[in-house]
Amino acid sequence: MEVLTFNTKYDLPVCLALGFFDCVHKGHSALIESTKTLAKEYEARACVMTFSDNPYPFLSKGEKLIFTFDERLKLFERAGVEIVFAVPFTKELMQTSKNDFLEFIVSRLNVKGIVCGYDYKFGKGAEGDTEYLSRFCSARAIACKVVPPVLHNGERVSSTLIKSKLREGDAETAAKLLGHGYFIEGEVCHGRGVGRMFDFPTANLDYGSDKLLPKDGVYATVSVVNGIEYKSVTNIGNKPTFGEYDVTVETMLSEFCGDLYGKRMRVEFVRRLRDIKKFATPQELKKQIYLDASWR
C-alpha cells in the first residue's frame, strides 16, 4: 500500500473514497468495497483520502480519535486499499470552498471515480454535499457512487455511536459496529515495575494524546507481539491500590516470556470485566488479577 502526501501528484488512474475515516467501521468498509469494485471496472487503483492528523482541535471540539493515523493505515491495508491520500487538516483547508476542494483533489490525482457516503459534506461550512459532488463529477466524466447507510439493529453505524459504546465500556458492541475489535497500538514504555509482583509480564503502552480510550476499568484483551497473539488483561485508568492516579494503559500477558520494553504491541479489547477497585493490600489485588486472567 502506498501513502501519498498532501502535495504529491499521482498520474496513475484511481478511484477515490472520500470521508473522514477516523476509524474503519462497517460503514467505511462498505465505502471501501464500493471503491474497490469501481476501481476494477475502470482499471484503476483503490484509493482512500483521510486526514493525517486530528481535525477536532481546529473544530473547537475536545474529541479524540477512535484510531490514530498509523492504526488506520493498517486497517486500510487489511481492507485491500492500495493507496492512501493523506491530507493534513488545517485552517486553510477549513476555509476552502467546495469547488476548490474538489478541484484540488483532481489536480493531484488522476481520478476516474469517486465514492462517498450518503451524508458526506465538504468545503467551507460543510457547504458541499452529494448532489454538488455528483454534478461536479458528471461535468468531468468522473464516475460517482453514493453509498447508503449501514445499519446495526436499526441504528446507523457511525463513529459517534462507536465512541458512545466505548465510553460506556461496551467493547463487544463497539466491535460489532466496527466489524473488528477496538484496539490500541503503541510502544511499550517503562512504568514503575510493580507488575513484576504479579508474576505476569506487564506492559505500559504509549498510546498518544489523540487516542480515544474506553471507559476506565479492567478488560479481557488479546495482545499481539511480533505477530503472535497472547491472552491478556488490560487496566485502563489509575492504580489506586498503589496511590497512582494518572490514567495509563497497562496490560498483563499470561503466556509471554521475554522483555517487552521498546516493542510495538497491539492490544485488542474483547470485553470489560470489572471496575477499578482499591484493594487493601497488593496481595489481594494479585488474587483478583489471577481471577481476571482466567477469562474465557
Please report, for the domain that includes residue 246, its CATH number: 2.40.30.30
Answer yes or no: are the C-beta atoms of 223 and 252 closer than 8 Å: no
Answer yes or no: are the C-beta atoms of 124 and 94 closer than 8 Å: yes
Rounded distance, CA 127 to CA 158, Å? 21
State the average pLDDT over residues 18-41. 95
Same domain, 143 and 187: no
Rounded distance, CA 136 to CA 47, Å? 19
Asked if residue 173 is part of any domain, the answer here is: no
The residues that bridge with 267 in the sheet, in sequence order, are 184, 223
Please report, for the domain that includes residue 83, its CATH number: 3.40.50.620
Same domain, 7 and 146: yes
Rounded distance, CA 155 to CA 87, Å? 30
Whole-model pTM? 0.92
Same domain, 92 and 225: no
Rounded distance, CA 3 to CA 5, Å? 7
Tell me the per-residue pLDDT of 239-272, one tens digit each, with 9 for 90 and over.
Answer: 888 878 788 999 999 888 777 888 899 999 999 9
Asked if residue 241 is part of any domain, the answer here is: yes
Confidence (pLDDT) at 193? 59
* Crossing angle for the helix pair 130-139 and 98-108, to the nearest 10 degrees: 50
Same domain, 115 and 220: no
pLDDT at 34 exceeding the cut of 70: yes
**Strand (E) or helix (H) holding 286:** helix 282-292
Rounded distance, CA 104 to CA 32, Å? 22
Asked if residue 172 is part of any domain, the answer here is: no
- Spatial CA neighbour of 114 closest among 205, 188, 15: 15
Residue where the block lists cell 481520478: 111
Cell triple for 50: 483521510
Asked if residue 169 is part of any domain, the answer here is: no
| Structural domain count of the chain | 2
Asked if residue 164 is part of any domain, the answer here is: no
Same domain, 141 and 22: yes
Q: Residues for the chain: how many in total?
A: 296
Same domain, 143 and 6: yes
Same domain, 126 and 205: no
Same domain, 151 and 26: yes
Cell triple for 291: 481471577
Same domain, 144 and 200: no
Same domain, 70 and 188: no
Asked if residue 28 is part of any domain, the answer here is: yes
Same domain, 107 and 40: yes
Asked if residue 139 is part of any domain, the answer here is: yes
Residue 296 pLDDT grade (very low, low, confident, very high; cuts 50, 70, 90): confident
Asked if residue 161 is part of any domain, the answer here is: no
Cell triple for 149: 447507510
Write the DSSP assignment of 227-255 as a string of letters.
TEEEEEEEEEEEEGGGTEEEEEEEEEESS
Same domain, 12 and 140: yes
State the average pLDDT over residues 166-195. 90
Mean pLDDT value across the chain: 92
State the average pLDDT over residues 148-152. 95
Residue 165 pLDDT grade (very low, low, confident, very high; cuts 50, 70, 90): very high
Which range marks the domain in which residue 79 is found? 2-156
Residue 196 pLDDT grade (very low, low, confident, very high; cuts 50, 70, 90): low
